[in-house]
Copies of this chain bind each other. A is one copy, B any other.
Amino acid sequence: MTHKATEVTIVAEKVIQEQIVEIIERAGATGYTILEGSGKGQHARRTHERPSVAGDAFDIVKIEAILGDRAAAEQVADEVANTLFTHYSGIVYLEEVEILRRARFWR
């Protein structure tokens, strides 16, 4: 049997990874997953293949956290958008997913 939960996804510059993770943890998430990628948006395109001559701060990371509580997920999304995306690159969105082992996602 599955349960409803909300996944919040953030695609952003690696330089703010730690700050995003902090917001996610403060909102009560039991975990998160980080994938490294590349991307193009309003700012310069970054590719993952070229050597990181200017450091890896400009790499793109995709951070996903599933929260049992939808309000908490929305809070993460709002906080990231309002405090970090004013100057740094990134997008944030929510999805409804169906989880197994519900207790795993509540703290």
> What is the interface of chain A, defined by CB distance below 8 A to chain B?
2, 5, 7, 9, 11, 21, 30-42, 48, 60, 62, 66, 74, 77-78, 81, 85, 91-101, 104-105
Contact = CB atoms under 8 A, between A and B. Distances in A.
Given A94-B98, A95-B97, 9 more contacts: A9-B97, A11-B33, A21-B40, A30-B41, A36-B37, A81-B100, A81-B101, A92-B100, A94-B97
Among A36, A39, A93, A105, the one with the most B-chain Cβ atoms within 10 Å of its Cβ is: A93
A9 B35 CA distance: 14
Given A77-B100, A91-B104, A32 B40 contact: yes
Nearest to A92: B100
A85 B101 contact: yes
